[in-house]
Chains A and B, each alone.
Chain A
């Protein structure tokens, strides 16, 4: 819909009547002539279109790199976008100089995206070598082979090792050291007031991060009514409510993995974050969107199924809860009724923490859709499994809760025979297809191994590896 939007782009305040569903990328390039932001794919896979987005957090603005090709203009209201032009307004920055010293820009088409990603890395201020690489995992470069880019990034990691923790102080340092023009850095400590109230329209199209929807609708028709879940009060929270851990519809994948309640409930879960999409996508993608999209190979859905999640659906007439396994009716078909939206995902937490493992194989190890995935959550008492949930993705038209296998596991000792039987039972529910990501036969062979891998990983002391692969 058309409404009044007020936001900042670099150092300039924009106050405009505009179509909310316009892509930020198009608008920046065409309306503002900010052509430093490039289109390399229009589907979130290349990072050439990255911009810095400042949005309201609990304690002031939060800055992240996000793909502008999957970002609705309406999402900018009351926010601040920084593009390469804003970063470069006062000339070369240390990030750019590191690139130049290493020859990290060849054809240069990817360069603005990388500069934005690494600038975001410094603005976020959590500097360590692992995060350095993660910060550019959403950017493709076809020319350099990344060697020079990694060398440049590593140097920045050294040069900016101890940035202040407080955003204001950090931005001041970054301004002083030329990472951002000081005037821009000063503006980035606060956000403008939104121009208008967005529609809270559960009847219309609800968008989370848009990382699925815009891939399917790369040229949205003006007039498509959209409501953004992150603009609705309370949907961005993870909280303990009674026996459940409630994950609001607007919670992003990144926020989920970083959340302390989540980490306490499934210790070690953060290790699986890297297997889902890329940082810029995780910055935007929601768990709710992952679920509603109902893709059979959705990674967060596989995790949620193993965590035994329920979907809380809200409509004008109230809410209803549904086991997540019952939410998927067929290929990309869900139990969501007209006028209903997914308000939260509820993780039963009364019985205490679970042990969790997630397995995913894709053609490329990172930033790729799974060929098959599976998650196993369980609790043990003494030697035996006392509770288990196994999920399977990529093996049927819907994400599967492997019910028979899950039930079978209860009361069993996790030995090789148990694992093999669980794999056999899980495969009984499967009807994989052959497609560009793999043949049906491959998927079957793979899934069996991934289920066995769960047990190897969760019970490392049982000598399972030796039994399976003598």
Chain B
């Protein structure tokens, strides 16, 4: 067999077991949450009699049945597991119905009568802020003196930027199965990126110590951040059901429930002001982000901090002020999603730069190139820019995409064609890697070398398609000097590797791969000492291992890694929050149908800095997949709530994500050569999130074409309201959007 990813082999054979595929334990009950039907209200009464009468197996649990603390919030305690008095968004869990079958549970849940008093609903972040509905305090990062610098600017532009939310649409929906363990306690099989987070939530809700709760995370059918914090509630509910009834309980949301009940990428509304000198060098930037945080805090603070860290995009800005407000609205708590606040910030920066280009009548690429970060500059949070690969990436991308020639061709096309116009845009990338919450930058691993020479590896990393297991398998094989096929990556479980950070922030391999490497080095050290002591010479691995075992050498090791060099002073907003940065550049071209207002992406050229890749197939897949999601966010995916907080795009027939036709364009992807990264495992770089930003180039490529349809593309004002749906495109073409 070729050296395929062993887990992918199971996938294509259809043999991978996701949560809903596993055989159900005997006596299993299915759980269905009863949720609020409006976005804000006071719970007056909950009448379960009709539900209970439906079938003898039906049980209905409410907040009163929770033996521990009725709370899921970690940053701020504002998210009950089951609402006891006031619901704050539509789709919030009020009760849990249990029954023998899934359809019984669903029917019974529909029979639970809720009486409540409606309370005012706010869905708009600016309105929330005006009403003082802010989570924690506003946060500001500052460098230099923007107020003063604006006075020296030759060009000052300002504007407002909107970016919409985004639904994760992991193809496998949220789910968990919980069982009471022998000797008390609870075992949960959870579709989570954060097994420890689930363990902690279950322990807290049930009033148990963490060691009484074991959480296993099988391979996930996609997650993208949506199963970071937001998997905890479903697992905790299943655990509650099992704890109260003593029977196994499974909760598995159907698509519509998943879309309605769970949080998504944060929508942002932002105001900016950008000042440049006459040559187009940025002198000052001010920005206010109104983050629509939803009804509960969830991960909003960490997400906002990543927005603030990425306020300047890939540019050098000597004077900057960036302020973020977490605006509490009556929508499901917005949460982690690939990019984690960075795309929203970078989009504002790019919008500002494009606006400045319009004011100056120059091509945006000129301003982009003129202001790129260089080694020796300083980020606005005080961290020095080390080994910037911005210019390198941009110049290479322009060359590879034949930018100048293409620009001429496009201009010529636009001169001669009435029904179609083309456009092009670039996005230079700079993305910081590490959890913005310092404490989370640690990883653990437990490596067993079995006495036949095969190796079992446990880490805190959860495989969700991003290839972390594949990479760790290679790291271990390489470090021990054995074939990959001898290394097996085990399912993630809290009982083998404890106190893990969620698999998120693109750090899965950086942290867990490094921890595995540390463990392997420890075992390697013992084995090589044994090799020389015992005079085994160059005996093969298997012999060495079995002899070592006979000689009672410990063949297991725990490895631990904490990213070195990180510090941050939250008061001063200064420090070194990232282990390193990822660079790159995308060039996208697009074509607009001027009659119908539709468009398509024509081509993409990506030059991306992935360090020394551990697995090129995985990295290519991550880059392509991230671009796809970025384009979906920028152009297509239209998350809609109405004014009452009801989700309108609540099915896959109304929420459209990219399909194979949408993404049917040539994609030229080059990884930067000779770009080792001394700061991560085997000199690699994290890859999960950074290429998501390239989707932003899709927005500006389409906008460039639309501008060409309206007149002089260098001067016509654009608009910055993402996603750029066909509706907005036509509104812009017909002047409804000025």
- Interface residues of chain A, those whose CB is within 8 Å of chain B, are 29, 33, 35-43, 45-46, 48, 83-85, 87-88, 91-92, 96, 99-103, 105-112, 115, 133, 136-137, 139-150, 215, 218-219, 359, 361-369, 371, 435-439, 441-442, 445-446, 449-450, 452-453, 456, 465-466, 468-470
CB of B77 within 8 A of chain A?
A: no
Choose from B170, B638, B640, B667 the contact partner of A142 (Cβ within 8 Å): B170
CB of B336 within 8 A of chain A?
A: no
Q: Are A469 and B727 in contact (CB under 8 A)?
A: no
Choose from A96, A107, A145, A469 the contact partner of B13 (Cβ within 8 Å): A96
How long is the Cα–Cα vector from A99 to B8 in the complex, in angstroms? Answer: 9
Interface-centre pick from A39, A41, A106, A446 (highest chain B CB count, 10 A)? A106
Kindly list chain A residues whose C-beta atoms are within 8 Å of the C-beta of B535. none
How long is the Cα–Cα vector from A465 to B653 in the complex, in angstroms? Answer: 33
Choose from A107, A110, A111, A450 the contact partner of B596 (Cβ within 8 Å): A450
Interface-centre pick from B17, B224, B626, B730 (highest chain A CB count, 10 A)? B730
Q: Are B597 and A92 in contact (CB under 8 A)?
A: no
Choose from A38, A96, A100 the contact partner of B171 (Cβ within 8 Å): A38
Choose from B103, B106, B170, B629 the contact partner of A107 (Cβ within 8 Å): B170
CB of B652 within 8 A of chain A?
A: yes
Q: Are A111 and B656 in contact (CB under 8 A)?
A: no
Q: Are A103 and B730 in contact (CB under 8 A)?
A: no
CB of B600 within 8 A of chain A?
A: yes
CB of B717 within 8 A of chain A?
A: no
21 contacts between A and B (CB under 8 A): A36-B15, A40-B172, A40-B255, A83-B14, A85-B14, A88-B13, A88-B14, A108-B11, A109-B221, A109-B222, A142-B171, A142-B657, A146-B628, A146-B664, A215-B653, A218-B254, A363-B726, A363-B727, A436-B638, A446-B730, A449-B597
Q: Are A109 and B18 in contact (CB under 8 A)?
A: yes
How long is the Cα–Cα vector from A29 to B106 in the complex, in angstroms? Answer: 19
How long is the Cα–Cα vector from A136 to B171 in the complex, in angstroms? Answer: 16
**Contact pattern, B 619-648, Cβ under 8 Å of A = 1, otherwise 0:** 011001111110000001010100000001
Chain B residue with Cβ nearest A366: B661
Chain B stretch 164-208: residues in CB contact (< 8 A) with chain A: 168-172
Choose from A107, A366, A453 the contact partner of B172 (Cβ within 8 Å): A107
Q: Give min CB distance, B100 to chain A, whole Å.
A: 13
Kindly list chain A residues whose C-beta atoms are within 8 Å of the C-beta of B653. 43, 45, 215, 368-369
Please name the 5 residue pairs, one residue from A and one from B, whose CB atoms are nearest each other, closest first.
Answer: A36-B14, A108-B11, A107-B465, A145-B628, A109-B221
Q: Are B638 and A106 in contact (CB under 8 A)?
A: no
Kindly list chain B residues whose C-beta atoms are within 8 Å of the C-beta of A437. 654
CB of B556 within 8 A of chain A?
A: no
Q: Are A145 and B625 in contact (CB under 8 A)?
A: yes
Q: Are A139 and B660 in contact (CB under 8 A)?
A: yes
Choose from A92, A99, A143, A456 the contact partner of B222 (Cβ within 8 Å): A143
Chain B residue with Cβ nearest A44: B653
Q: Are B595 and A456 in contact (CB under 8 A)?
A: yes
Q: A48-B171, A136-B660 are in contact. List 17 more A-B contacts (CB 8 A).
A: A29-B21, A41-B255, A45-B651, A84-B14, A103-B8, A109-B172, A139-B660, A144-B625, A149-B660, A359-B596, A361-B598, A363-B656, A364-B658, A445-B736, A446-B596, A446-B730, A468-B595
Chain B residue with Cβ nearest A359: B596
Choose from B10, B465, B657 the contact partner of A106 (Cβ within 8 Å): B465
Kindly list chain B residues whose C-beta atoms are within 8 Å of the C-beta of A39. 20, 254
**Contact pattern, B 199-234, Cβ under 8 Å of A = 1, otherwise 0:** 000000000000000000001111110000000000
Q: Are A140 and B657 in contact (CB under 8 A)?
A: yes
Kindly list chain B residues whose C-beta atoms are within 8 Å of the C-beta of A84. 13-14
Q: Are A146 and B663 in contact (CB under 8 A)?
A: yes
Q: Give min CB distance, B489 to chain A, whole Å.
A: 15
Known contacts A133-B664, A142-B171, A449-B596; A368 and B656 CB within 8 A of each other: yes
Kindly list chain A residues whose C-beta atoms are within 8 Å of the C-beta of B658. 145-146, 364
Kindly list chain B residues whose C-beta atoms are within 8 Å of the C-beta of A438. 727
Kindly list chain A residues whose C-beta atoms are within 8 Å of the C-beta of B725. 363
Known contacts A100-B8, A359-B596, A436-B649; A365 and B621 CB within 8 A of each other: no
Kindly list chain A residues whose C-beta atoms are within 8 Å of the C-beta of B727. 363, 371, 438-439, 442
Q: Give min CB distance, B347 to chain A, whole Å.
A: 20
CB of B659 within 8 A of chain A?
A: yes
Q: Give min CB distance, B427 to chain A, whole Å.
A: 16
Known contacts A103-B617, A445-B734; A435 and B648 CB within 8 A of each other: yes
CB of B419 within 8 A of chain A?
A: yes
Q: Are B662 and A366 in contact (CB under 8 A)?
A: yes
Choose from B106, B594, B659, B662 the contact partner of A469 (Cβ within 8 Å): B594
Q: Are B595 and A147 in contact (CB under 8 A)?
A: no
CB of B514 within 8 A of chain A?
A: no
- Interface residues of chain B, those whose CB is within 8 Å of chain A, are 2, 4-5, 7-18, 20-21, 23, 103, 106, 168-172, 219-224, 254-255, 418-419, 464-467, 594-598, 600, 617-618, 620-621, 624-629, 636, 638, 640, 648-649, 651-654, 656-664, 667, 725-727, 730-731, 734, 736
Q: Are B12 and A92 in contact (CB under 8 A)?
A: yes
How long is the Cα–Cα vector from A363 to B620 in the complex, in angstroms? Answer: 28
Q: Are B255 and A108 in contact (CB under 8 A)?
A: no
Known contacts A142-B657, A368-B656; A111 and B11 CB within 8 A of each other: yes
Chain A residue with Cβ nearest B419: A465
Q: Are B418 and A465 in contact (CB under 8 A)?
A: yes
Q: Is the interface of A mostly helix, strand, loop or mixed?
A: loop
How long is the Cα–Cα vector from A359 to B598 in the complex, in angstroms? Answer: 12
Kindly list chain A residues whose C-beta atoms are within 8 Å of the C-beta of B596. 359, 361, 446, 449-450, 453
Q: Give min CB distance, B24 to chain A, whole Å.
A: 9
Chain A residue with Cβ nearest B648: A436
Chain B residue with Cβ nearest A103: B617
Q: Give min CB distance, A444 to chain B, whole Å.
A: 10
Kindly list chain A residues whose C-beta atoms are within 8 Å of the C-beta of B598. 361, 365
Choose from A364, A435, A470 the contact partner of B656 (Cβ within 8 Å): A364
Q: Give min CB distance, A172 to chain B, whole Å.
A: 23
Chain B residue with Cβ nearest A437: B654
Chain A residue with Cβ nearest B625: A145
Q: Are A466 and B418 in contact (CB under 8 A)?
A: yes
Q: Give min CB distance, A148 to chain B, whole Å.
A: 6
Kindly list chain B residues whose C-beta atoms are within 8 Å of the C-beta of A218. 254
Known contacts A100-B2, A445-B730, A449-B595; A43 and B255 CB within 8 A of each other: yes
Known contacts A111-B14, A465-B419; A144 and B624 CB within 8 A of each other: yes
Kindly list chain B residues whose C-beta atoms are within 8 Å of the C-beta of A109. 18, 170-172, 221-222
Q: Are A140 and B659 in contact (CB under 8 A)?
A: yes
Interface-centre pick from B18, B223, B254, B660 (highest chain A CB count, 10 A)? B660
Choose from B13, B23, B466, B636 the contact partner of A92 (Cβ within 8 Å): B13
How long is the Cα–Cα vector from A84 to B7 in the complex, in angstroms? Answer: 16
How long is the Cα–Cα vector from A91 to B624 in the complex, in angstroms? Answer: 28
Known contacts A92-B9, A442-B730; A436 and B640 CB within 8 A of each other: yes
How long is the Cα–Cα vector from A452 to B736 in the complex, in angstroms? Answer: 19
Kindly list chain B residues whose C-beta atoms are within 8 Å of the C-beta of A219. 103, 106
Kindly list chain A residues whose C-beta atoms are within 8 Å of the C-beta of B625. 106, 142-145
Q: Give min CB distance, B616 to chain A, whole Å.
A: 9
Kindly list chain B residues whose C-beta atoms are within 8 Å of the C-beta of A369. 653-654
Kindly list chain B residues whose C-beta atoms are within 8 Å of the C-beta of A137. 659-661
Q: Are A365 and B221 in contact (CB under 8 A)?
A: no
Chain B residue with Cβ nearest A368: B656
Q: Are A365 and B652 in contact (CB under 8 A)?
A: no
Q: Are A145 and B627 in contact (CB under 8 A)?
A: yes
Q: Give min CB distance, B485 to chain A, whole Å.
A: 14
Choose from B2, B21, B628, B667 the contact partner of A35 (Cβ within 8 Å): B21
Choose from A108, A215, A442 the contact partner of B10 (Cβ within 8 Å): A108
Known contacts A101-B2, A145-B624, A365-B598; A441 and B662 CB within 8 A of each other: no
Q: Give min CB distance, A459 to chain B, whole Å.
A: 14
Q: Are B664 and A43 in contact (CB under 8 A)?
A: no
How long is the Cα–Cα vector from A437 to B726 in the complex, in angstroms? Answer: 10
Interface-centre pick from A35, A139, A215 (highest chain B CB count, 10 A)? A35
Q: Give min CB distance, A49 to chain B, whole Å.
A: 11
